[in-house]
Amino acid sequence: MATFLLKKNSIKAFLLSFPILCGSLVAQNKPLDTLVLTGAFGEIRGSHFHAGWDFSTFGKEGFPIYVHDSGYVYRIRISPYGYGRAIYIKHPDGSFSVYAHLRKFAEPFEEYLRNYLLRNKTNIADIYPPAGKLIVRRGEIIGFSGNSGSSTGPHLHFELRNAKEEPLSPLKFGYSLPDNKKPQWKWVRFFYPYQYIQNKDTAYTFLTPLFALSPQKLNGRVVEVPYKKIAVGFKGYDLIGSRSTGIARWFLMVDDDTIFHFKADRLPYPQMKVATVMRDRKYNLYFVPYGITHASLRKSENQGVITVGEKTRKIEVGICDNFNNCNTIAFSVVCEKQCKENPRIKNWWLTPEKDTTVKFNEFTVSIGKGTLWYPAPVKIAECNEKRQCVQITPSVPVRKPYEIVVKPTSDKNLNKAYLQVKGGSQKVITPSQINGSELVFKPRTFGQFELRYDTIKPRIWLKQTDWQLKEYIQIFIDDRETGIKKWDVFIDGEWIPAEYYLYEKALRIYMNEPPSGKQRTLKVMVKDKTGNTKTLTKTIVY
């Protein structure tokens, strides 16, 4: 009966919110009853490619999730970050399916997880049950949709992987969605790349923007450019029904010859961060820096750099969705009368082949070999303001962590120190270690780093104390500086599991017994990333 009501509610919500039916999967088993695609496979998400399909749950949680095929539970994960509550199924052919951002798992998976959490007194888990212990059948309900992990709204992340655990396009497994709409253009931007001489060969690296044109102004036009070598990028989106997704395939042709073609169909995890160098200032690029490869990069001649001279070159750029609907723009480029050679890299640029260390009074920045993807104009300087601060060119992508060592003028409260980040993808960095009077940080991004101290305790509050009519007990927690690191909840002196929902600033407690109307003692202990703690004790009714 409950399942019927869930299905009925999902259909009702869909009809109220979306007049256009976006279709059902052609394959035999759908992960959800009603499918509205909101995230494409292979679209660029910040520093990575999106490894699956996202399906809307219409702003609600609790819709049943069905298993793609028979197999066994390979992995169960619960975390306030990333995929949140996620379950991984291994199938007889060696492939995997992944279902992420769930609210709850079905029994007996929920019981298996709960026993693990209670046994280990932990609220975060990454479990690999023995092979074959938890069997699932095709079409079985394995959980219920939610908003856990790094999710900003209720939805299902559905992922399919090969035997090497490389995410593959669901199209390779026979899945499809009816879609005949072409992606839409926003802008096309022109760049000029710098020249870098390596082993007597010229490579092109680090794009500098020239100008951007709308598709209406660009299509059919002859564009004059000031440099002999240029590159292009685009902004665009794909519309399915009333929802938009990113672009998963794009290509560049020069005089009818394809010189760049990216088609997302296999995304090995070691290559996920290549996404950081295939986007510049929110523009996807028809360009890849020297030496960069990817399993989904079909073709990249001369890195996607277009050679321009006195002769007009015919250009065609295209964008496509997951279902091979494509939209193209055709134009031509020619060099201006005063055509310039592309500038060469200056000696103050950093390169991936060497170590670089810059020392200031309090800060020492060490950028080791391989930290950069490609040679780039990285400037390292102290901030002008009267603050303990250092700044590193924020627009340059970083391949792996580097090191910032800080020796404050005073060693007071070193265990409360952290770096506030401005201009990078990270917001706060706490020390990886404290060596005497030195703080060692391992950033994964460039930007402005200011040394601060967090001495403020986290906050804990309840909006109600009677929970008899609720599915779960909700406790709000927050830390305005470094963020929450650890939390523990006790009811009548007994430790119980609690899930942290980062974007909701709340803990959820799913009780393992029905409410009885008794008064209970609730105790909540929260610690932030610099060790400040807060405890709240309340009497609640459950």
DSSP string, 48-103: EE--SEEEE-TT----EEE-SSSEEEEEEEE-SSTTSEEEEEE-TTS-EEEEEEEE
Query: Do 284 and 334 lie in a common domain?
Result: yes
Provide φ and ψ at 170, rounded to 5°.
Answer: -55, -20
Q: Which of 177, 286, 270 is nearest to 234 (CA)?
A: 286
Does residue 131 form part of some domain? yes
Contact in structure between 70 and 64 (CB atoms under 8 Å): no
Pair 323, 430 in one domain: no
Contact 400, 389 (CB under 8 A): no
Encode the chain (542 residues) as per-residue pLDDT tens digits: 333 333 334 433 333 333 223 333 433 488 999 888 999 999 999 889 999 999 999 999 999 999 999 999 999 999 999 999 999 999 999 999 999 999 999 999 999 999 999 999 999 999 999 999 999 999 999 999 999 999 989 999 999 999 999 999 999 998 888 888 999 999 999 999 999 987 778 899 999 999 999 999 999 999 999 999 999 999 999 988 667 899 999 999 999 999 999 999 999 999 999 999 999 989 999 999 988 999 999 999 999 999 998 889 999 999 999 999 999 999 999 999 889 999 999 888 999 999 999 999 899 999 999 999 999 999 999 997 777 899 999 989 999 999 999 999 877 789 999 999 998 778 999 999 999 899 999 999 999 999 999 999 999 999 999 999 998 999 999 999 999 999 999 999 999 999 999 999 999 999 988 899 999 999 999 999 999 999 999 999 99
Residue recorded with tokens 């970050």: 81
Tell me, what CATH number does 493's domain have? 2.60.40.10
Q: Give the SS3 label for residue 467.
A: coil
Residues 315, 396, single domain; the answer is no
Contact 223, 243 (CB under 8 A): no
Same domain, 392 and 499: no
Phi, psi (rounded to 5 degrees) for 97: -125, 145
At residue 9, the pLDDT reads 41
CA 126, 128, 129, 135 dihedral sign is positive
pLDDT of residue 253: 98
427 and 469 belong to one structural domain: no
308 and 250 share one domain? yes
Same domain as 167, residue 116: yes
Residue 399 within a domain: yes
Q: Quick check: 454 and 431 in contact, CB under 8 A?
A: no
Mark whether 335 and 377 lie in a shared domain: no
Q: How many domains does the chain have?
A: 4
d(C-alpha 209, C-alpha 150), whole Å? 32
| Residue 377 · residue 346 · CB < 8 Å | yes
* Residue 469, token pair as written in the block: 């009519």
| Residue 351 resides in a domain | no
Q: Residue 414 — left, alpha, or beta (φ > 0 → left; ψ -120 to 50 → alpha)?
A: alpha
In a domain, residue 348? The reply is no
The set of residues, in sequence order, having a beta carbon less than 8 Å from that of 303 and lying 6+ positions away, is 193, 203, 204, 231, 287, 288, 289, 290
Identify whether 413 is part of a domain. yes
Do 19 and 74 lie in one domain? The reply is: yes
Range(s) of the domain holding residue 95:
2-173
Continuous segment of H or E residues that includes residue 284: strand 283-285
pTM (2 d.p.): 0.90
* Closest C-alpha among 57, 68, 49 to residue 13: 57
Tell me if 322 is assigned to some domain. Answer: yes
Helices (runs of H) and strands (runs of E) counted in the chain: 3, 44
Q: Which amino acid is at 331?
A: F
End residue of a domain, out of 137, 152, 173: 173
Measured between its terminal Cα atoms, the distance across the chain in Å is 25
User: Is residue 419 domain-shared with residue 488, that is, in the same domain?
Assistant: no
Contacts of 372 (CB under 8 A, 6+ apart): 350, 351, 352, 378, 396, 398, 399
Task: Please provide residue 48's backbone torsions phi and psi, each rounded to the nearest 5 degrees.
Answer: -150, 165
